[in-house]
Chain A
């Protein structure tokens, strides 16, 4: 075991370059290099919950695959739970739980119960311990009605809860999740988030997850890392990310009747649609709301926080050259 203060994940200049060989005309072959991840450095300490963010193709899944031992890095030094993932993959497997939101880790045509039984034998969990853990997880995730159902007949949300159970049956200290809430409805998302929070709070499970969902980050992650073009562009908390790339909040106003664009200080109309108008806020929302409701007859008002995607997009736009480490160098700071 590693000492309590030792990092669970320790990445130092980790990179992954894919070499794609395409057959061009005849027998000639062209090799294209795809730098999926370049020089990613970070540490994650026990008990942290870290959101690993970035646009499509940024290298999130590739990083996660290196962390769990599926892919060998082409550069750098990587330690997870004190082990070298690609080389000590079977030892590492006992200590980590992995969930791929895009596809199940369960057996498609087996009932959930049988999948769990197979996993018990793979991880050599004693029967009594397995039963107790399974009972606990099934209750937390409300899986009892589906234990006899083959995975292929489960809804996406039910399947995801099955996958979470499967990933935690051997009591791993690190949970790695690649888009665990993708495609889930609001209720299922909330269930997954609450569950992960609870695992983190009660068992001290360290969590690293990728997501495109702001809700996941806000509810779960005290720390976020943003990668872009395979590099760490930001590492800090959500407030820090917002401060770094401020995106104005939006006030959505539903007027009683269609009207010309609202003109109030501290706000700018960016879009209108019949009686609905979108105001980009520059100053204090309370003052703007007071002013708008004084001037107009209002049916409804909503204040929209910027999406994490907006913030992240803004961050990329301000850093057009992916090879320039400027922003990363200035803002990268580890949490404690």
Chain B
């Protein structure tokens, strides 16, 4: 928890620093919001041609998009800059971080913290508010509770994937591109119903890179749809367990990477 406190203190300091240039901050934030909005427009455009996409209507798909956008957006907001690890190793700023009394992960994550990183979260939140009342489902208390729980677990899963991807850079400094294809690629992939990609892709994002738990599996429960892979009912509720397991895995790999750095210095 000391780490969370350090994160908040440093985020506040970075925010003050960025807020000295309010115009540039506002423009940067707007441009990020605009970029993220284009994904929403793409979905609406697709539905101009087809009224239903693999059994999901516009409202359903916007809901899936919103859950994915919130999860990836929140993870990016809080931890996105861990992908800079390789740069910190190459330029020696990692050494500097190591002589300061705050965990390196927090220092890298909060580095250049700015509200413009919220640019991806805002359109997703708006879309969620638009899609929720348009969903054709029976809103039991369990389904209602599932919505915030999904966002939370989704953000945790994305954070873990982000940290795992960044940890690769302890071993291969050029690993950033490969990791980005999972993080940003995963973000784009989960904006649509996974069923449109076919069974093989669905199996990969369920069992290998568990992106299916970011929004797809919980949404099957909320929307009350059958699983195209025919997986048992409980899988729809596995997101918290997947998040915990993945975070533990990320913490382990990160620590191993840090230990390796302390022994090789590179």
Contacts and interface: CB of A to CB of B under 8 A. Distances in A.
The answer to whether A binds B is yes
A297 to B, nearest CB: 56
A287 interface: no
A110 B100 CA distance: 18
Contacts of B227: none
Contact of A93 (B10, B91, B95, B99): B99
B14 A118 contact: yes
B263 interface: yes
A18 B262 CA distance: 11
B199 interface: no
B14 A70 contact: no
A117 B262 contact: no
Contacts of B12: 121
Contacts of B242: none
Contacts of A114: 13, 16-17
Nearest to B266: A18
Interface in B90-121: 91-92, 95-96, 98-103
Given A71-B265, A86-B262, A122-B10, A93 B92 contact: no
Nearest to B96: A105
Nearest to A68: B99
A304 interface: no
Given A70-B262, A72-B263, A93-B101, A118 B13 contact: yes
A98 B12 CA distance: 25
Contact of A103 (B16, B92, B98, B101): B92
Interface string A105-146: 100001000100111011110000000000000000000000
A191 B12 CA distance: 34
Interface residues of B, number: 23
A19 B6 CA distance: 35
Given A18-B264, A103-B92, A114-B17, A70 B99 contact: yes
> Majority SS of interface residues in chain B?
helix
A70 B95 contact: yes
A48 B264 CA distance: 31
Given A100-B95, A103-B92, A122 B101 contact: yes
A96 interface: yes
Interface in B207-266: 259, 262-265
Nearest to B262: A72
A147 to B, nearest CB: 13
Contacts of B99: 68-70, 89, 93, 96, 98, 105
> Majority SS of interface residues in chain A?
mixed
Interface in B5-54: 6, 9-10, 12-14, 16-17
A122 B14 CA distance: 12
A105 B14 CA distance: 16
A195 interface: no
A302 interface: no
Contact of A90 (B95, B96, B102, B262): B102
A90 B103 contact: yes
Contacts of A18: 264-265
A14 B200 CA distance: 54
B100 A122 contact: yes
B101 A123 contact: yes
Contact of B13 (A65, A74, A100, A121): A121
Contacts of A71: 262-263, 265
A309 interface: no
Residue among B16, B98, B103 with the highest chain A CB neighbour number at 10 A: B98
A206 B26 CA distance: 47
Given A65-B265, A114-B17, A121 B95 contact: no
A37 B176 CA distance: 33
B9 A121 contact: yes
Interface string B80-94: 000000000001100
A100 to B, nearest CB: 7
B22 to A, nearest CB: 15
A42 interface: no
Interface of A: 18-19, 62, 65, 68-72, 74, 86, 89-91, 93-94, 96, 98, 100, 103, 105, 110, 114, 117-119, 121-124
29 contacts: A18-B264, A18-B265, A62-B265, A69-B98, A70-B262, A70-B265, A71-B265, A72-B262, A89-B98, A90-B101, A90-B103, A91-B101, A94-B101, A98-B99, A100-B95, A100-B96, A103-B91, A105-B96, A110-B17, A117-B17, A118-B17, A121-B9, A121-B10, A121-B12, A121-B13, A122-B10, A122-B100, A122-B101, A122-B102
Interface of B: 6, 9-10, 12-14, 16-17, 91-92, 95-96, 98-103, 259, 262-265
Given A121-B12, A122-B10, A123-B101, 9 more contacts: A18-B264, A72-B262, A90-B101, A103-B91, A103-B96, A114-B17, A118-B13, A122-B9, A122-B101
